[in-house]
């Protein structure tokens, strides 16, 4: 985020489409301060500022964003769209391709997500991406509270996510788990190479399942709990 702020202060220019990877709550807070203090844009009661927080972003949401983005600015020439989600369908991404290839003049998009891996390469190539550092405490939480547990205890540990079929939290969990496993793999590079490779492939596959229309969160997380 500091790179974004410093770049704007130096050039007074913005890219049309930013994708920001990091903790949503922290990113939104810092981003809104940037809008208010540096861009002088009100983030409330402003028809030229759009914000929406989605659990899953689908084709209808993409069409609505297209419609909104082509409306003329009420004051000045700048319009800002901020959307957050952890899941986005491939249909929605394909629907946004044309918009992100040729965005309306003076319109800027800020997409906040916990992982840039959810995007197809075709749409990801249109983004100016910014990765915000994650709180190391989150990864430590997984390492201490999940990886060191017995297999039955791991399933119980994930019980709340499983019972609520919470796709967003399940995806965030897989992302953080992948980071933790990667750090462990780097520390023990010469050991259990096949095991870590298999786990990384499994996490990638299950992320794809969660992005689907009707994933079994229970099956995915129980499988992870028994495999790690």
The mean pLDDT value for 136-155 works out to 72
- pLDDT tens per residue across span 44-83: 889 999 999 887 788 999 999 999 999 989 987 889 999 9
- pLDDT tens per residue across span 176-209: 787 777 777 766 655 666 777 788 888 888 887 8
Last residue of a domain, one of 131, 153, 178: 131
Are both 115 and 152 inside the same structural domain? Answer: no
Q: What is the DSSP letter of 134?
A: P
pLDDT above 50: residue 139: no
Q: What is the DSSP letter of 111?
A: E
pTM (2 d.p.)? 0.67
Are both 97 and 143 inside the same structural domain? Answer: no
Number of domains, the chain: 2
Q: Which domain holds residue 184?
A: 136-227
Are both 28 and 106 inside the same structural domain? Answer: yes
Are both 105 and 148 inside the same structural domain? Answer: no
Burial group, residue 98, by CB count within 10 angstroms (0-12, 13-18, 19+): exposed
As given in the structure block, the two tokens for residue 28 are 């939104």
- The answer to whether 204 and 171 are in contact (CB under 8 A) is no
**Separation of CA 91 from chain center:** 17
């Amino acid at each position: 985020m500091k790179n974004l702020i410093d770049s704007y202060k130096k050039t007074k220019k913005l890219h049309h489409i930013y994708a920001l990877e990091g903790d949503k709550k922290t990113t939104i807070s810092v981003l809104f301060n940037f809008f208010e203090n540096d861009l002088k844009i009100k983030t409330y009661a402003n028809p030229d500022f759009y914000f929406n927080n989605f659990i899953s972003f689908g084709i209808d949401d993409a069409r609505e964003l297209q419609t909104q983005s082509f409306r003329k600015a009420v004051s000045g020439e700048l319009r800002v769209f901020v959307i957050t989600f952890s899941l986005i369908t491939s249909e929605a991404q394909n629907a946004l391709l044309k918009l992100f290839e040729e965005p309306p003049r003076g319109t800027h998009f800020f997409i906040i997500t916990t992982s840039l891996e959810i995007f197809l390469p075709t749409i990801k190539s249109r983004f100016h991406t910014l990765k915000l550092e994650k709180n190391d405490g989150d990864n430590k939480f997984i390492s201490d509270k999940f990886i060191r547990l017995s297999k039955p205890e791991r399933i119980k540990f994930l019980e709340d996510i499983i019972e609520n079929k919470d796709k967003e939290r399940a995806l965030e969990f897989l992302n953080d788990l992948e980071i933790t496993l990667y750090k462990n793999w780097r520390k023990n590079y010469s050991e259990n190479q096949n095991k870590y490779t298999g786990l990384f492939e499994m996490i990638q596959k299950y992320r794809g399942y969660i992005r689907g229309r009707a994933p079994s969160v229970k099956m995915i997380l129980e499988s992870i709990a028994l495999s790690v």
